[in-house]
Amino acid sequence: MPRLIDPDTGLSPTEVTLDYGAHSHALLDVEHDFPQGLTRQSFDPSSDQPSGVWRFAQLVDPELDPDQIVTLAEGNTPLYRSESLCAASLLPGLRIKHEGHNPTGSFKDRGMTVAVSRAIAGGAKALACASTGNTAASLAAYAAHAGYPAIVLLPEASTASSKLAQAIAYGARVLRVRGDFDCAMKIVAELAFRGDVALLNSANPFRIEGQKTIVFEMLQQLNWQAPDWIVFPAGNLGNCTAFGKALREALALGLIDSVPRLAAVQAEGAAPFAASFARGFDRLDTVHAETLATAIKIGAPVSFSRAVRSIRETRGEVLAVSDEEILVAKAEVDRAGLGAEPASCAAFAGAKKLALRGIIDPEETVVCVLTGHILKDPDTTLAYHEGRLGEASHANQSRIVEPDLSEIQRAVAEWDAPGRGNA
């Protein structure tokens, strides 16, 4: 059995069991006894294991019976190099780890395969989460695949349409809460505390174990040569927690020789972690969150204390970028042919900002993590290109035409005419 410990005291609370329902108010870590003799060669990418999470089972959950794993062949996401993004960021050593290439279109699937497997193995009857959208879509899919009910609470006013559609289509019981994510989170934690449901948010320590594989997989793709920086968007701070834990474990096991610095990027209107960092992490002041990057529209991040540890241990940075900077970064990421949802592109905006400020040196190697697929938020993408979000430096407007050959020839010719701005 994996042990659950309180990361602040290092103690194993005596009441802890694998039933997360009863312990949703405590932030616990999973502590493993890793098998002896693990090396870089222990995680063969050419094995017939179809999951990029379970390839690292020995680092994620060595004790779970393989028959109890609920998987959709998640992970194995690409690590890109893009000339245009290197140029736009002034970072020749930039790579892009695209987590949008997961079964439900976001990194959430990596944590969900582990946490859903563990929750069901532990006897959970109903699985629940609050979500800005992606966690709900992911939980809905994994629960459906396992034949279990999922209950998801989404903020009514600010959930991107594709994520809502996914949760509905996968068959979850979808509750659209008249309130924000933070209030939905409080309610679902209370439901879990009363034992009504198992909590599948990233407060669940097995979510963190699965999300560690973003880092393990990227290190493997880089031949275990750790980059100087890993830059990622931050909301509820699950990834920040997971990345720090993954690096701590990779170093302790001798899989890497140096530890990358973590850079967590928030949206300006939802930046309580960045504000706390600027004050030396004295405390967390929660905020009322506002940003068009709805995935990270979170004012009371649950994993704050665990994320502080990750930033401190890696000499990390936490910064905020404006919605305008996110939109420009998104246009650049999309036009590079990679594409990602707005929240993901906060990471690229953050990498650019850190390079401009001279905090990231042009000589350094950087992996920027894109967390969600371009198709996750089509409404924001269209609103940007149609000029409904203010000035759009990369606007690309479609045209409606009659089904007439000469009209279409004329339209195509106009496209390339000087001054049209669509080249």
What is the smallest separation between the CB atom of 255 and ligand F0G, expressed in angstroms?
A: 23
Inter-residue contact 235 to 295 (CB < 8 Å): yes
Distance CA 308, CA 244 (A): 9
Nearer to ligand F0G, 89 or 371 (CB): 371
Nearer to ligand F0G, 51 or 106 (CB): 106
381-172-189 Cα angle (round to 5)? 95
**Residue number, 205 or 372, with CB nearest to ligand F0G:** 372
Greatest Cα pair distance, the chain, in angstroms, is 78
Quote the least distance from Cβ 419 to ligand F0G, whole Å: 36
Q: What is the identity of the amino acid at 359?
A: I
Give the shortest CB-130-to-ligand F0G separation in angstroms: 7
CB nearer to ligand F0G: pick between 93 and 128: 128
Which tokens belong to 358?
């001279």
- How near is the Cβ of 39 to ligand F0G at its closest, in Å? 29
Min. distance of Cβ 23 from ligand F0G in angstroms? 20
Contact between 27 and 305 (Cβ < 8 Å): yes
Comparing CB distances to ligand F0G, the nearer of 57 and 262 is: 262
Query: Between residues 49 and 139, which has the closer beta carbon with respect to ligand F0G?
Result: 139
- Cα(379)–Cα(160) distance, integer angstroms: 7
Rounded Cα–Cα distance for residues 102 and 107 (Å)? 6
Instruction: Find the shortest distance in angstroms from Cβ 242 to ligand F0G.
Output: 7
C-alpha triplet 295, 231, 322: angle, nearest 5°: 55
- 423: Cβ contacts below 8 Å, ≥ 6 apart: 416
What is the closest distance, in whole angstroms, from the C-beta atom of residue 33 to ligand F0G in the complex?
27
Report CA-CA distances (Å) from 248 to 59, 122, 258, 359. 12, 27, 10, 23
Contacts of 120 (CB under 8 A, 6+ apart): 68, 70, 127, 146, 148
Q: Would you tell me which residues interact with ligand F0G (CB under 6 A)?
A: 106, 108, 131-135, 202, 233-239, 295-296, 341, 343-344, 371-372
Query: Shortest gap between Cβ of 345 and ligand F0G (angstroms)?
Result: 10
For ligand F0G, give the closer residue by CB, 233 or 339.
233
Q: Which is nearer to ligand F0G, 237 or 351 (CB)?
A: 237
Contact 217, 52 (CB under 8 A): yes
CB burial readout 305-324, b (16+ within 10 A) else e? ebbbbbbeebebbbbbbebe
User: For residue 415, what is the enclosing H or E element?
Assistant: helix 405-415
